[in-house]
Amino acid sequence: MKVPVFIIDSFTDEPFSGNPAAVCLLATQGDTKALTDEDLQRIGGEMNLSETAFISCDGESSDFRLKSHFGLRWFTPTVEVNLCGHATLAAAATLFYVKGNQSETISFQTRSGILKVKNKGDQLSMDFPLNPSQKQERDIVKDLLKVVVEETDIQDVEYSPNTRKLILRLRDTLPRSYLEKLRPQISMMEKNEPSGQIKGVIVTLKGSESNGCVDKSGKQYDFVSRYFAPWVGIPEDPVTGAAHTVLASYWSKELSKKNLYARQCSSRGGDIIIQVDNDRVHLAGSATVVMCGTLDI
C-alpha cells in the first residue's frame, strides 16, 4: 500500500521553523480499516514528529480537491491524541496548498467533534473549542512544580480539566529571556506526576515591550509561552495549537481582550493570531510545505 505523506511547518512562513507535522492521505474511509490503529501508531513512531495527522475522505470518493469534509486523526510517536492544533493546520495546508482544494472552508470529523479551517490565503484560521482553566492548589502539584520552574517565579497556577493541561504563569517582572532559557527536568516530570491528571505543562508570561515580548517588526505579543508534554512522548512541542485553546481562555480573561497575539518561544518558535468567540476560539497562522513523498507499507 502506498500512502502519500507530507511534512508541513505550521505557524510559520519560513521553512525549518514553527512546528513540523507529518500528514498522510488515506484515499477513502475504507483505508482506515485497511490500516489498523497499530499501523497508524507505527507510522507515527516512524515519522517521529510530535504529531502525524491522517486525513481520510468522507464516503467512497477520494477527491481531496473537491470535497469539503474529511476525517482526521492525530498520533504522537507513542499515543493517539484527542486534539492537535498544529497538525490540523498542517492537514488543512496539505489540502489547500498541495492538493488545491477549492473550498473556502473545510471541516474535519475528529475525536474533538467537527473542526473547521478557513483558507485566508497566506494564513489558515482554525475554529476550535475554547478550553477554560481553573485555579489549581499548588500543594497538589508541588512535586511537579519543583522540576519545572522555581516556585518563587510562579505568579499563578491553573488547570484545564478538558485538556489535562497545567498553566504556570511566570511573574510579570521576568524577561522573555528567562522563559526561553528555562530548562525543566523533563525526565522527572512524569515521575513526579504519575496520576494521569496532567498530560502537559504550559509555562506562560505576559507580554510587554519592557520584557522583550515583541516580534521582528516590533509589535508586542500579548503573551508568550512554552509547552512540555513528556506524558505523551513530547518533551517540548515547538508550537502548540491545543495549548492555545487553554491560553486563549486564560489570557482573554486576564487582559479583558478577545483578540490576542501570541508566540510560543521554543527554539523553532511560531506566531499565533487568536480571536475568542464565546465558547470557541479561532487560531490563525501560516504554514509551509517542506516535504512531499510516499510511504510504502
Q: Give catalytic residues, as residue numbers.
A: 51
Per the rule left: phi > 0, alpha: psi between -120 and 50, beta: everything else, 281 is beta
Output Rg (C-alpha) for the chain, integer angstroms.
19
Residues 6+ away with beta carbon under 8 Å from 65: 99, 100, 101, 102
Grid coordinates standing for 215?
Answer: 516580534
Give the phi and the psi of residue 85 in degrees, each rounded to 5.
-70, -50
In the block, residue with C-alpha cell 508586542: 220
Q: From CA 276, how far away is CA 224, in angstroms rounded? A: 17
